């Protein structure tokens, strides 16, 4: 599975730790930055390239971090083909993939601790889209909105 990860200064420390753990777990990982802790950086500069790679199919899944996870989620969802969600619980981490084909998980480093974040990411990466007709129907409506703006 090809995974991307991105964070601004707010999620930088968690991203560095998570990237190391993902590498140790054998995932093919692409790091979109930040590459250094810079309190003046902006989450869209890292999250948008990650989201584009997921939306274009160059990555299977993405992990986006900032202080709250909200900004990362907003930015990622502006990219066609991305279904990002801010996740704080195990149920949403797997159900978001199973029912909604979520392909980017967003986490807030000041909201969840590292151990919980790592568990959420592992749950997200292990989950698979069910492909049920009702879920495909709903996703088609979302995709139509991306194409036609209504």
Answer yes or no: 106 catalytic: no
Q: How far, in Å, CA of 9 to CA of 65, rounded?
A: 9
Phi, psi of 105 (to 5 degrees): -100, 135
Q: Catalytic site residue 99?
A: yes
Catalytic residue among 66, 88, 94, 135: 66
Q: What is the DSSP string of 14-79?
A: HHHHHHHHHHHTT-EEEE----S--TT--THHHHHHHHHHHHTTS-SEEEEEESSSHHHHHHHTTS
User: Which residue among the candidates 9, 88, 94, 99 is catalytic per the annotation?
Assistant: 99
Active site residues per annotation: 66, 99
């Amino acid at each position: 599975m090809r995974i991307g990860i991105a964070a601004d200064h707010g999620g930088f420390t968690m991203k560095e730790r998570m990237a190391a753990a993902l590498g140790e777990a054998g995932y093919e990982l692409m790091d979109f930055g930040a590459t250094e802790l810079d309190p003046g950086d902006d989450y869209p500069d890292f999250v948008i390239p990650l989201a584009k790679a997921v939306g274009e199919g160059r990555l299977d899944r993405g992990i986006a971090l900032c202080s709250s996870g909200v900004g990362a989620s907003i930015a990622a969802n502006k990219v066609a083909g991305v279904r990002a969600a801010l996740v704080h619980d195990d149920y949403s981490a797997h159900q978001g993939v199973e029912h909604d084909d979520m392909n980017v998980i967003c986490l807030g480093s000041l909201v969840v601790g590292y151990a919980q974040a790592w568990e959420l990411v592992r749950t997200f990466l292990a989950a698979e889209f069910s492909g049920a007709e009702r879920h495909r129907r709903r996703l088609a409506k979302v995709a139509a909105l991306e194409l036609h703006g209504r």
